[in-house]
Structure formats: structure tokens, C-alpha cells
Amino acid sequence: MPRPATVSPEQILDAAALEFSERGYAGARVDRIARRAGVNKAMLYYHFGSKQSLYRALLRWIFSRAADRLLPIAAAAVPADEKIARVISAIAAFTAEHAFFPAIMLREVADGGVHLDPDTLQALARVPMVVGGVVRQGVADGTLRRVHPMTAYFSMLAPIVFFLAGEPIRKQLAARRLANMASLTPEVFVDELQQTVRLALAPSAPRASAAGRRHAHNRSSLRRKRL
Amino acid sequence: MPRPATVSPEQILDAAALEFSERGYAGARVDRIARRAGVNKAMLYYHFGSKQSLYRALLRWIFSRAADRLLPIAAAAVPADEKIARVISAIAAFTAEHAFFPAIMLREVADGGVHLDPDTLQALARVPMVVGGVVRQGVADGTLRRVHPMTAYFSMLAPIVFFLAGEPIRKQLAARRLANMASLTPEVFVDELQQTVRLALAPSAPRASAAGRRHAHNRSSLRRKRL
DNA sequence: GTCTATACTTCGATAGAC
DNA sequence: GTCTATCGAAGTATAGAC
């Protein structure tokens, strides 16, 4: 019983990605998704049941793909700081292919996960899990300084996602001459962010040849309770 | 002709802040805002004219207050890296007083500014302006390494906003046992982020006594075209 | 300034023919 | 599997009495 190779479901997901990323869950219109997908609204309901199911299917799909993209980076035989640079590049590359990804992520955080069922939540959690694992390993083998893995996660992921999602508003600011960040292209930003994060997470002692020192001690005393 | 000192407009703004931050512009319901404010829906329209005007008034109000909070930090007579640590603290403190702020910010970035008129856009632009000024000054006097001011802006603001806005979803993740970040309280996070950003933006040469060195040169050669 | 009642529109979802 | 037509709920906004 081969899969009914008509043309709809993937096209619907693509259209839904655009619509949901541009307008959010509440602002998205089922009619518009159907029209953008070139299918009938009833067709959409036939395949996905409801607006909510469609949204969840989209989130599972996009976050699973994102996490899958990061897995080989986490598994590579390179130091943690190099993995982190690659994660940043990978998010940027992933966004170049799926431009709607950053806005979806911002919106889901802002929505507090109210539309998510357990399966979707789990798919969504894989991204911080993978990145956190990279950091934890780097901290353990002394390649990175001691930080909470989730601090490192937010320090690298939030800027790149925020920046990429912010392109439309930067254009508005430029059009109104309220700011001009045209020189800050995604390429430049990725490059600077990689260096920024590398410096931020480097062990505090000068610069060993990436070999294992046990702990990186902080200069500033009264921090660090536990991770 | 004294201002009609009835009780409504501020209460409406407060209620609107909650509703818009929780649901976004499209998801917010005028009826709910009115009910939360304890006023009639017609009263709301009497004071603000439309859902859109109310939303814009809210954004102008909250972003102006945020920028006003940062101004004295930018003007203080302390090194740029200390100002940056204070900016991070200030955003966290501001959010403690106005819990809806981070979600509003995320949503507005994701929405690409589609609901904004020029005045509101200008109010919104003041926050990156002030922070960018701090960084530019720090780069100029050698207190910070050479980065694009907006790279620094995103590196400090995106993580704190993202983290603070993400509290609801972290609770969901914890409830489903998909992650437990309970040890990462806002206090710990702010502390770690301050140190992270300080390291990320410190001049690359060892550590002068905060006095003026002209330029901080990067180790890595082929970066840095212009800022 | 404040409230009730309601006009007008849009949206998610389905019925039912093919 | 696909389409047209439409229902019923919910939403923004206003009219008009007080």
C-alpha cells in the first residue's frame, strides 16, 4: 500500500511555515495557508484535521530537522569550541534554507508553549539538549570555562536567532533612517558572534594547546555555586 | 481645564500589556483587555480609539521607559564593560517590574514591525541606540575589543530577553521532565551572562588597568573589514 | 465619561456532491 | 481525494441612552 503520492501535504507544510512565521499562530489564517499551498481549504482539513494539528506538525518537522542538523556537529571529533562555532554556522545555514525558522522560534518562546502537545514539546527540546551536551562535554574536558550549559546555549543561540529574525524590522529602521545596520550582514554577524562566543567560553587561563586542564578558575571569586 | 482624573487609561495600559504579551497582537482580545482592566469595552475605545492604537501606545510606553532606564547607565562615569554589566542587570530589573517586557520584544521582532507607525518605531529604536552608543564609546577608548556595536547589542540583549521570556516554556519542559533548568535562576543567569559578555568584549591583550590603549588587535587576522 | 445592545466582518470547521 | 457552499462562533467596532 504505497503512500498516496498526490501533491498536497508537503506543499501545505511549506505554506503553513510561511504563514505561521509571518503572523504567528493566532494571526495565521487557514484560508491563506490553503491558497498559498494552491489547495482547497477542505483539502487542508482532510490532511491535517485542524489548524492546531497543522501547527504542531510544522513545529515537529522544523525542530526535528534543526536538531538533526546539529547532531553530527556534536558527534564530531573536534574541540568543543570548534563545535560551538559550527553550531552557530549551522543555525545560520539552516535559516538560509528555511527563512521562517527564527521567527517561529521567537514566537514559540513568547507564546510559552501553549499550543504544544508532549510530542511537539519533545521535538522542540532536542535543540537545547544537543547544544547543552556539547557545552557540558567541553566544560568537563576543560575545553570551555565553567558555565551553566544553558547559559552558553542562550549566549550563542539567542543572538543568532534574534538577529536573523530581526531582518524585517532592521529594514524598517533603515527606511526611516532610525538606524543603519546594513554593514552587519549575516556573514559578518556570524563571524563576529563565533569569535564573541569563543572568547566568552574560553578557559580563563591564557591559552593551552587545547589539551586538558582540569578546571578553569574564575578570577572574580564569589560566583559559581554549582552547575 | 485639569486632566480628567478618572481611573481608566493607565489601568487599560496595564491590562493591555498582559494580554498582548501573553497572546500577541493578533491573539489579544479587546474584550479581555477591557475585562482585565475592569472597564467597559466601549470605554477602551473611547480612550484609545482602536486595538491598534492601544497596542502602539503600549509599545511607546514600555520601550520609552526601558530606554529611559538605560540612559543614566550610558552617561555614568565608569568603563564601558561596567556599563554593559549594568545594562544587563537593568534589563533584568526592568523585567522584574514589567514581566511582560521580554515577550513583547520577542513578538515585535517576529512580527517584523508590521504594526508600528513611525513614532512607535522611533521609541523602539532608542534601546539599541543607547546600548550601541555605550559599545561604540568603549571600542573608541579601547575599553572593549573591536566589534560591531550591534553585534555586541545582540550578544548581550538577546540572551537576557530570550531567557526571561522563556520561563513559561522552561516550566513546561520541567513538568514533562524533558529538561530541568531549575538551577538556572534569573540571578544566576544574569551573573553568568555578565561575565560571559565581559570576557567576550574584553580587549584581546592581557588586562590593562582599564586605562586607555588605542586599539585592541585581534589575534585572528582576516576578520574586521570595518564597523 | 460610562454602559448596553448590536451591527458588521472574519474565521475555523464541516456537510455533502462528485 | 477533491471541491463548493455554508454554518456558527467569535471578533472589532459603534450607535445611542444616560
Query: Domain coordinates of chain B in residue numbers?
Result: 1-49, 60-202
Is 90 exceeded by the pLDDT of residue B65?
yes
Return d(Cα A207, Cα A143) in angstroms, integer.
10
Return d(Cα A160, Cα B31) in angstroms, integer.
37
pLDDT of residue B204: 84
Return d(Cα B195, Cα B90) in angstroms, integer.
15
Between residues 58 and 97 of chain A, which touch chain B (CB distance below 8 Å)?
none
Over the stretch A140-164, which tens digit does the pLDDT of each residue have? 999 999 999 999 999 999 999 999 9
pLDDT of residue A169: 98
pLDDT of residue B26: 98
Q: Which residues contact B177 (CB under 8 A, 6 or more apart)?
A: none
CA distance A22 to chain B (A): 6
pLDDT of residue A205: 67
Instruction: Give CA separation, B207 vs A91, A215, A222, B12, B212, in Å.
Output: 33, 21, 20, 51, 11
pTM, entire model: 0.90
CA of B144 to C1' of C18 (A): 71
Over the stretch A193-214, which tens digit does the pLDDT of each residue have? 999 999 999 998 654 444 444 4
Is 80 exceeded by the pLDDT of residue B217?
no
- Helix or strand run (H / E) with residue B72: helix B51-75
Place of cell 569569535: A195
- Asked whether A155 and B155 are in contact (CB, 8 A), the reply is yes
CA B65-B71-B74 angle, to 5 degrees, is 150
Domains A1-49 and A60-202 belong to one CATH topology: no
Nearest to B189 by CA among B147, B161, B226, B148: B161
Q: Measured between CB atoms, does B22 come within 8 Å of chain A? A: yes
When the pLDDT of each residue in chain A is averaged and rounded to a whole number, the result is: 91
* Phi–psi pair at A220, nearest 5 degrees: -95, 25
Q: Which nucleotide is nearest to B51 (CA to C1')?
A: D12
CA B53-B57-B61 angle, to 5 degrees, is 170
Please state whether strand D lies within 7 Å of residue A11 at its CB atom. Answer: no
Q: Which nucleotide is nearest to A27 (CA to C1')?
A: C11
pLDDT of residue A219: 43
Return d(Cα A151, Cα B187) in angstroms, integer.
12
Return d(Cα A111, Cα A119) in angstroms, integer.
17
Residue B7, burial from CB neighbour count under 10 angstroms (0-12, 13-18, 19+): exposed
Residue B206, burial from CB neighbour count under 10 angstroms (0-12, 13-18, 19+): exposed
CATH class of B1-49: mainly alpha
CA distance B39 to chain A (A): 25
Mean pLDDT calculated for residue range B59-67: 98
Q: How many helices (H) and strands (E) does chain A have?
A: 10, 0
Please state whether strand D lies within 7 Å of residue A8 at its CB atom. Answer: yes
pLDDT band at B206 (very low <50, low <70, confident <90, very high): low
Return d(Cα A37, Cα A184) in angstroms, integer.
34
pLDDT of residue A8: 77
Contacts of B136 in chain A (CB under 8 A): none
Return d(Cα B226, Cα A192) in angstroms, integer.
12
How many Cβ atoms from other residues are within 10 Å of residue B93's Cβ?
A: 14
Compare CB distances from B121 to A145, A167, A178 and report the shortest one's residue. A178
Is 50 exceeded by the pLDDT of residue B157?
yes
Best mutation target among A106, A116, A145, A180 (most B Cβ atoms within 10 Å) is: A106
pLDDT of residue B224: 46
pLDDT band at B203 (very low <50, low <70, confident <90, very high): very high
Over the stretch B11-47, which tens digit does the pLDDT of each residue have? 999 999 999 999 999 999 999 999 999 999 999 999 9
The grid coordinates of residue A23 equal 503572523
Q: What is the maximum alpha-carbon separation in chain A?
A: 66
**Helix A101-111 to helix B8-27 angle, to the nearest 10 degrees?**
140
Best mutation target among B155, B187, B201, B225 (most A Cβ atoms within 10 Å) is: B155
Q: In chain B, what are the helix, strand and coil shares in percent, each to the nearest 5?
A: 70, 0, 30
CATH fold for domain A60-202 = Tetracycline Repressor; domain 2 (1.10.357)
DSSP string, A56-109: HHHHHHHHHHHHHHHHHHHHSSS-HHHHHHHHHHHHHHHHHH-TTHHHHHHHHH
Q: Do A24 and B22 touch (CB under 8 A)?
A: no
Q: Which residues contact B65 (CB under 8 A, 6 or more apart)?
A: B94, B98
Nearest to B83 by CA among B131, B125, B124, B129: B131
Over the stretch B123-153, which tens digit does the pLDDT of each residue have? 999 999 999 999 999 999 999 999 999 999 9
Instruction: Give CA separation, A168 vs A22, A100, A171, A174, B216, in Å.
Output: 10, 12, 5, 10, 33
Return d(Cα A113, Cα A55) in angstroms, integer.
12
